Amino acid sequence: MPPAKHTEEQVKEALDKCAGVLLHAAKALGVDRTSLTRRIKKNPDLKEHHERCREVNIDIAESQLFELIRNGQANAIIFYLKCQAKHRGYVERLEQTGKDGKDLALPIHSPPRATSMEEWLEQNRSEAAA
């Protein structure tokens, strides 16, 4: 295996500059994304650094979300409550009930059972043709 083209520090700098986005960091380093991904997976320090970069992005996104909430953006408020306040009942569920909240009456259709190989083949030929 050939020696690494870039030092560990150069890879970390590229990850920092590109906010941990591997495609952009790889382009900045002049390598393909697959090679960079493989190198990060093999090196615990690079893997940890990449995870830290991604955590910073999450912090930034959370800060922006809270800013939207403070500004009264309804969609941000609803999103936050659905994700973080399920224990208080802010959960969206699909109700699957019939008329007036009763159980759904779902018809169950089962084809007649074949009693011979010829009958089975005939049933399956007609289903395939349909």
For residues 35, 36, 39, 45, the Cα torsion angle rounded to the nearest 10 degrees is 180
Residue 26: how many other CB atoms lie within 10 Å: 21
93-113 average pLDDT score: 79
Tokens of 126: 């007609």
Mean pLDDT score of the chain: 89
Tokens of 8: 């560990």
| pLDDT at residue 34 in the model | 96
**For 45-78, how does the pLDDT look when each residue is reduced to its tens digit (9 = 90+)?**
999 999 999 999 999 999 999 999 999 999 999 9
| pLDDT at residue 92 in the model | 82
In the structure, what pLDDT confidence band is assigned to residue 130 with cuts at 50, 70 and 90? low
> pTM here?
0.61
In the structure, what pLDDT confidence band is assigned to residue 126 with cuts at 50, 70 and 90? low
